[in-house]
């Protein structure tokens, strides 16, 4: 009797361990526990008023929710690209610069310090979405039609993106003084929760609906796992890969909206710097294979917030922002080493040996 | 002629394209930008400014010929500059030892990255992406603020000019000025020659091509594929360190923002120089001309009064894009021909 | 060792989990002979060659080589090369980006430097003496496949090989190129090299070989002088049927034969594709089961792939119920009611990491469209229905398909196509590599579906199965349709003689 009960418990644990979402959740718990021990003030959330007199919640956890939003949005697109093409897009940071620049260009027109907005925010946003989709389509073309490895193909925009962004605004740095615009990256009056979080939630809802009411998930995974077989089942792998890059383009535009709104301006060389690394890391932390195939969107999104939690934790311990990449690089290397088939096989062999030794004893 | 072109090896065909592109571009520069480009010193200045890039590109070409990629060399350059700068300035160190430090950094990166790529079979892009971020981050950790190195021995070495005989010109005051290159250029040329000889005349060099051409076949032909891949990354990182030191010698300062995007320029140079991303095809001479083409473009852009950093970014990316697509198309056509 | 022998294999055994791939195989290769190694798919040819070249290590048995005292042990491809066994594979295992001379010499010595002059001279001499039309400095990738193959052989000869294994070297060559290769082989024979020739082209065996060893089901079937073994007998040895018992074994099941007046459901005229098949005609009626037969590589799979649009079609037309339809991509074929179970289950069939349910609904889902996904309930209902109907053994509908056994994977793919309710179902080797019980299940199912009005093309390497199910068989040889058998002609003897062609 007790034996069967034991079995079922280990079964439950086994199931949990095997579930993909376990990885980011475990990572998050470890980070939270670390913070709890090191300095519980990490968890303090206070209600205050910002300079405009609106109520805002502040605290490290709110920062994670706030700043993790763009990353979560990017993780959505990056997950799809990874799944379909088996590679990653490293031009998302540059893409944000472009989309953000286009957004400002429409908002401000030729005047860099407009008193009133030149166009409604929604129009500017749609234009920037269109621009970002075009650049996504460009990447997608190189990958899907010309069969260039995704990371190398996106290198082109990675190199040129920030320059293009600067060119769109003639290298000027427009500043938007409109208060409504700053709500997007800040707080809507009367609501103490940062707006980016709502935008991220909306994006998640949309992608959840898309995954539910279309075959995007099935097609993407099928193409990523077995391209030849997908083709024989009537799919068009080239188009699906291309589509994933276009969708990433939309995500980039949304992230750019938030980023630009935070500053009410743009800095071409700094905006969203190194965010591609974080986005890729989010996908990897979510337990998705970077070589493509099956994916779990929610694990990726979870991964994004874990990354932000890591960043915020590092900041709290006075790590300089420029030094952050070094720590994250170590995390990436550990992740890929432990998920590499070679290492896994070796570990399986070792554990087998240990087991057999145990049995012998 | 057409038949001759067809029978040409991929390496030579792409090399030819590169040299033609460079010659046309330089001729164009002379025609449209005036006499500045006619002066030998203009050309030598291009070399002076890009000696480090030449070395980095040689390393990248090697890795790409073997079928991999390394994007950590830019970060390494910054790290090497910073470490050496800190050692020379704050510690009042010895120039020779600073070179040794650079070499050690290169070895460390090469061994770790090479091991991960070759023996653990992890995608080289991910490994070296992490390497790049690690190097950049470490640079800031070593020292945050940029500063110039005042170490006397180092400055003397930095200021050393090698006169190129017979290439001088008369300046505005009617005085004859010798043409010169910096030490770094000499180092770069030695690297180019050594790499060229190594790739062409040693068994190891040919093994790099074989592995890049077809890993499975190379294995069947009796080549140690893993060791070859490992060595390609090791050599690339060592060249990264040497290139880093040459860069350091050229700018004479340490800063976290040094060599920003150098890896992209090096990759672009290699590709423009005829190195195939898919591996197995490439030529160090082509890479050398690739760097020259790239920097000539940059010179044209800046001397055309378009002195905005973003123009260079866009032109480089455009060239990269064009050459990538050409490669993809050329190879696809060649394959279909062989099939028939 | 026997007189004149360069290589002897005795009592070779090799097992893989669950399969006995080689079971006491004997093989003797004499000096200066071309020896054909024959056998159908799964007979153990490739395993034997891999044992010989060190890719696999044998479980039992001994390998004797001329000039070596006692048995030799071969642990890696390099070992094999050192003792003088060289192999040229069907796919070129040279580096296309290197020069011809380099490909002949690379990886063979531990020298540090590369001496181009000496190498090019050596290669030039060798190429000339073997009459191979290639320059040493030429890039290998610019040579034709035939020349590349010859360069591989030249490399082997230059390494002083005593035993040369040619593993299906002619499968991608045209007739002229094959003749050149044969000339080379005869030259080598004169020099005393023993050649093991593996091929599925019977004509070629009879043209160039001296002796034949036949393997079947991993066992040694016999060694014969070429003149003592007529083609029909060779085919029967390979298939394991004595000529005497080759009576008609057609089952009792009623099989519908199309009458001349009916319009065929599908008709194909002059179809050919980029895969290299000659244009062929073909038709199938409602409720008919027919098949393409021929040895492996004869082009039977390529024919059905062309019908389904899996390979790029370059000529010909497809007619459905008297109306011409356009099939360029698989989705076109699917929309016209064609289903295709591909030959290679792992590469073209299953989507490994996806669940059984997703694999089953995939084709129907794609036909239904991007914006109309099945609800979870519908999908599970479909999956459960077919899991039950076909008796698929799986822990649940959510199990990844790759963790199922081969037979159950195949049933899932079958379920995938049955779910689309096709008018015409193409089954390419549906019974390959699966257990006997499932094989019978699938054959029964084919007959049942046909009786319900579905047209089915059934391809199998096992002629028995085809005889049991098909009412008409298209026979292929060397990528050409060479005959069509139905009615009383449909028996082992007739099929074999048609496959063998020539004098039989």
Residue B336 confidence (pLDDT): 58
What letter does residue C139 receive in the DSSP assignment? B
Using the beta-carbon criterion (under 8 Å), do A163 and B310 form an inter-chain contact? yes
**Region of poorest pLDDT, from A107-111, C200-204, C288-292:** C200-204
Cβ–Cβ < 8 Å for C6, C163: yes
A-interface mutation test, from B320, B321, B332, most A Cβ less than 10 A away: B321
A286 occurs within a structural domain: yes
- Cα–Cα distance between C430 and C407 in angstroms, integer? 9
Matching fold, domains C5-229 and C246-337+457-504: yes
The fraction of chain C above a pLDDT of 70, given in percent, is: 91
Instruction: Please count the structural domains in chain A.
Output: 2
Query: Helices (H), strands (E): how many in chain B?
Result: 14, 4
Same domain, A26 and A160: yes
Classify the C-alpha dihedral B207-B213-B215-B218 as positive or negative: negative
Q: How does pLDDT run across B284-329, given as a tens digit for each residue?
A: 999 999 999 888 888 877 777 655 667 777 877 888 888 888 777 7
For C246-337+457-504, CATH gives 3.40.50.300
Residue A129 confidence (pLDDT): 96
The fraction of chain B above a pLDDT of 90, given in percent, is: 39
A3 occurs within a structural domain: no
Using the beta-carbon criterion (under 8 Å), do A236 and C331 form an inter-chain contact? yes
∠ CA C317-C318-C319, nearest 5°, is 120
Q: How does pLDDT run across C436-448, given as a tens digit for each residue?
A: 667 778 888 888 8
CATH label of the domain that carries residue A300: 1.10.3470
- Cα–Cα distance between C353 and B231 in angstroms, integer? 35
Q: Contacts of residue B308 in chain A, CB cutoff 8 Å? A: 166, 171
Mean pLDDT over B49-74 rounds to 94
- Cα–Cα distance between A19 and A274 in angstroms, integer? 29
A11 occurs within a structural domain: no
The whole domain housing A253 covers: 18-318
∠ CA C489-C491-C496, nearest 5°, is 100
Using the beta-carbon criterion (under 8 Å), do C352 and A218 form an inter-chain contact? no
C133 near B CB under 8 A = no
Q: Which helix (H) or strand (E) holds C273?
A: strand C266-273
**Region of poorest pLDDT, from A66-70, C196-200, C209-213, C236-240:** C236-240
Using the beta-carbon criterion (under 8 Å), do A326 and B123 form an inter-chain contact? no
Using the beta-carbon criterion (under 8 Å), do A214 and C370 form an inter-chain contact? yes
- Cα–Cα distance between C353 and A292 in angstroms, integer? 11
- Cα–Cα distance between C330 and C336 in angstroms, integer? 10
Reported in sequence order, the residue ranges of C294-452 that DSSP labels E, i.e. its strands, are 313-320, 323-325, 338-341, 424-428
Same domain, A220 and A358: no
Of the candidates B123, B133, B321, the beta carbon closest to that of A156 is on B321
Using the beta-carbon criterion (under 8 Å), do A167 and B314 form an inter-chain contact? yes
Q: Contacts of residue C97 in chain B, CB cutoff 8 Å? A: 9-11, 209, 212-214, 280-281
Using the beta-carbon criterion (under 8 Å), do C114 and B202 form an inter-chain contact? yes
Interhelix angle for A297-316 vs A195-213, to 10°? Answer: 160
Residue C250 pLDDT class (50, 70, 90 cuts): very low
Min CA distance, C297 vs chain B (Å)?
A: 18
Give the neighbours of chain C: at least 3 Cβ pairs within 8 Å.
Answer: A, B
Q: Domain spanning C5-229: which superfamily?
A: P-loop containing nucleotide triphosphate hydrolases (3.40.50.300)
| Domain residue ranges of chain C, discontinuous segments joined by + | 5-229, 246-337+457-504
Q: Is C271 helix (H, G, I), strand (E, B) or coil?
A: strand
Domains of chain B: 11-26+39-331 (1.10.3470)
Same domain, A331 and A216: no
CB pairs < 8 Å spanning A and C? 76
Of the candidates A90, A325, A341, the beta carbon closest to that of B137 is on A325
Boundary residue ending a domain (A318, A336, A351):
A318
> What ipTM, to 2 d.p.?
0.81
Using the beta-carbon criterion (under 8 Å), do A229 and C350 form an inter-chain contact? yes
The better pLDDT of the pair A103, A7 is held by A103
Taking the alpha carbons at both ends of chain C, their separation in whole angstroms is 37
Q: How does pLDDT run across C340-389, given as a tens digit for each residue?
A: 999 888 888 899 889 999 999 999 999 988 888 888 899 999 999 999 98
Boundary residue ending a domain (A287, A302, A318):
A318
A12 occurs within a structural domain: no
Residue A5 confidence (pLDDT): 46
Cβ–Cβ < 8 Å for B258, B43: no
């Amino acid at each position: 009797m007790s034996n069967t009960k034991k079995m079922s418990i280990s079964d439950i644990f086994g199931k949990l361990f095997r579930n993909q979402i376990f990885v980011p959740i475990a990572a998050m718990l470890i980070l939270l526990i670390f913070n709890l021990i090191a300095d519980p003030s990490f968890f303090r959330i206070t209600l205050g008023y910002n300079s405009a007199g609106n109520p805002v919640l502040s605290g490290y956890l709110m920062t994670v929710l706030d700043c993790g939003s763009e990353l979560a949005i990017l993780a959505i697109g990056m997950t799809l690209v990874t799944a379909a093409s088996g590679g990653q897009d490293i031009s998302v940071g540059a893409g944000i610069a472009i989309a953000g620049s286009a957004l400002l260009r429409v908002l401000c027109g030729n005047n860099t310090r407009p008193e009133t907005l030149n166009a409604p925010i929604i129009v500017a946003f749609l234009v920037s979405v269109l621009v970002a989709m075009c650049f996504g389509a460009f990447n997608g073309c190189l990958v899907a039609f010309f069969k260039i490895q995704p990371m190398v193909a996106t290198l082109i925009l990675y190199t040129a993106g920030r320059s293009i962004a600067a060119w769109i605004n003639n290298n000027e740095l427009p500043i938007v003084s409109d208060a409504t615009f700053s709500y997007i990256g800040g707080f809507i009056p009367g609501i103490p929760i940062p707006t980016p979080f709502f935008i991220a939630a909306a994006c998640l809802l949309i992608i959840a609906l898309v995954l539910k009411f279309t075959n995007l998930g099935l097609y993407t995974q099928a193409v990523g796992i077995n391209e030849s077989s997908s083709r024989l089942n009537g799919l068009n792998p080239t188009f699906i890969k291309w589509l994933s890059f276009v969708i990433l383009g939309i995500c980039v535009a949304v992230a750019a909206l938030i980023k630009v709104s935070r500053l009410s301006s743009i800095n071409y060389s700094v905006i969203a710097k190194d965010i591609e690394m974080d986005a890729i890391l989010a996908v990897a932390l979510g337990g998705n294979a970077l070589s493509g195939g099956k994916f779990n969107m929610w694990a990726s999104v979870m991964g994004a917030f874990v990354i932000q939690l890591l960043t915020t934790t590092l900041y709290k311990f006075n790590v300089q922002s420029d030094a952050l990449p070094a720590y994250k690089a170590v995390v990436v290397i550990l992740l890929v080493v432990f998920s590499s088939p070679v290492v896994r096989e070796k570990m399986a062999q070792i554990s087998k040996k240990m087991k057999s030794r145990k049995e012998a004893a | 002629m057409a038949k001759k072109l067809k029978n040409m090896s991929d390496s030579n065909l792409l090399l030819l394209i590169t040299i033609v592109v460079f010659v046309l571009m330089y001729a164009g520069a002379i025609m449209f930008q005036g006499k500045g480009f006619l002066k030998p010193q203009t050309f030598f200045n291009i070399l002076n400014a890009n000696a480090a890039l030449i070395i980095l590109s040689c390393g990248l070409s090697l890795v790409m010929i073997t079928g991999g990629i390394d994007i950590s060399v830019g970060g390494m350059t910054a790290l090497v500059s910073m470490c050496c700068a800190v050692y020379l300035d704050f510690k009042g160190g010895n120039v020779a030892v600073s070179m040794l430090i650079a070499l050690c950094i290169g070895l460390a990166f090469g061994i770790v990255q090479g091991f991960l790529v070759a023996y653990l079979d992890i995608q080289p892009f991910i490994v070296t992406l992490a390497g790049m971020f690690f190097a950049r981050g470490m640079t800031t950790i070593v020292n945050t603020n940029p500063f110039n190195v005042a170490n006397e021995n180092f400055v003397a070495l930095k200021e050393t000019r090698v006169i190129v005989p017979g290439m001088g010109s008369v300046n505005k005051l009617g005085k004859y000025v010798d043409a010169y290159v910096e030490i770094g250029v000499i180092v770069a040329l030695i690297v180019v020659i050594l790499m060229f000889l190594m790739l062409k005349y040693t068994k190891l060099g040919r093994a790099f091509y074989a592995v890049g051409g077809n890993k499975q076949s190379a294995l069947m032909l009796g080549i140690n594929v893993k060791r070859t891949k490992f060595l390609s990354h090791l050599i690339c990182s060592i060249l990264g360190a040497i290139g880093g030191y040459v860069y350091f010698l050229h700018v004479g300062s340490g800063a976290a923002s040094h060599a920003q995007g150098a890896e992209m320029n090096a990759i672009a140079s290699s590709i423009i120089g005829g190195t195939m991303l898919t591996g197995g095809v490439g030529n160090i001479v082509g890479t050398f001309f690739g760097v020259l083409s790239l920097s000539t473009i940059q010179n044209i852009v800046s001397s055309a009064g378009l002195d905005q950093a973003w123009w260079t970014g866009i032109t480089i990316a455009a060239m990269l894009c064009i050459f990538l697509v050409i490669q993809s198309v050329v190879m696809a056509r060649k394959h279909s021909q062989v099939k028939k | 060792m026997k007189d004149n022998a360069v290589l002897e294999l005795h009592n070779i055994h090799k097992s893989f989990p669950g399969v006995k791939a080689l079971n006491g195989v004997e093989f003797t290769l004499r000096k200066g002979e071309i020896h054909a190694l024959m056998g159908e798919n799964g007979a153990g040819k490739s395993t034997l060659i891999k044992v010989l070249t060190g890719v696999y290590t044998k479980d039992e048995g001994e390998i004797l080589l001329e000039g070596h005292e006692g048995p030799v042990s071969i642990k890696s491809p390099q070992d094999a090369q050192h003792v003088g066994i060289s192999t040229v594979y069907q796919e070129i295992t040279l580096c296309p980006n290197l020069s011809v001379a380099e490909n002949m010499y690379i990886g063979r010595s531990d020298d540090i430097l590369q001496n181009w002059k000496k190498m090019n001279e050596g290669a030039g001499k060798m190429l000339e003496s073997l009459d191979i039309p290639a320059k040493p400095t030429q890039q290998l990738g610019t040579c034709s496949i035939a020349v590349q193959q010859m360069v591989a052989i030249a490399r082997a000869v230059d390494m002083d090989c005593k035993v040369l294994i040619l593993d299906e070297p002619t499968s991608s060559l045209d007739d002229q190129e094959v003749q050149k290769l044969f000339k080379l082989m005869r030259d080598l024979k004169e020099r005393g090299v023993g050649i093991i020739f593996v091929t599925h082209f019977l004509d070629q065996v009879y043209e160039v070989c001296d002796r034949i060893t036949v393997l079947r089901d991993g066992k040694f079937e016999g060694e014969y002088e070429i003149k003592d073994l007529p083609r029909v007998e060779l085919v029967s040895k390979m298939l394991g049927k004595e000529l005497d018992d080759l009576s008609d074994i057609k089952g009792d099941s009623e099989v519908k034969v199309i009458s001349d007046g009916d319009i065929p459901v599908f008709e194909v005229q002059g179809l050919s594709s980029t895969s290299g098949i000659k244009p062929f005609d073909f038709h199938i009626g409602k409720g008919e089961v027919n098949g393409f037969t021929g040895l492996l590589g004869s082009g039977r799979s390529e024919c059905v792939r062309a019908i389904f649009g899996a390979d790029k079609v370059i000529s010909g037309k497809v007619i459905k119920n008297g109306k011409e339809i356009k099939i360029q991509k698989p989705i076109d074929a699917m929309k016209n009611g064609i289903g295709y179970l591909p030959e290679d289950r792992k590469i073209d069939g299953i989507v490994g990491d996806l669940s059984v349910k997703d694999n089953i609904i995939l084709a129907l889902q794609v036909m239904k469209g991007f914006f109309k996904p099945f609800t979870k309930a519908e999908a599970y209902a479909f999956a459960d229905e077919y899991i039950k109907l076909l008796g698929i053994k799986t822990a649940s509908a959510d199990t990844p398909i790759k963790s199922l056994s081969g037979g159950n994977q195949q049933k899932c793919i079958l379920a995938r196509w049955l779910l689309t309710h096709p008018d015409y179902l193409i089954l390419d080797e549906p019974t390959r590599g699966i257990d006997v019980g499932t094989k019978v299940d699938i054959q029964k199912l084919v007959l049942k579906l046909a009786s319900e009005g579905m047209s089915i093309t059934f391809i199998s390497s096992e002629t028995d199965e085809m005889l049991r199910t098909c009412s008409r068989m298209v026979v292929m040889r060397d990528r050409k349709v060479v005959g069509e058998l139905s009615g009383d002609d449909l028996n082992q003897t007739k099929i074999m003689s048609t496959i063998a062609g020539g004098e039989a």
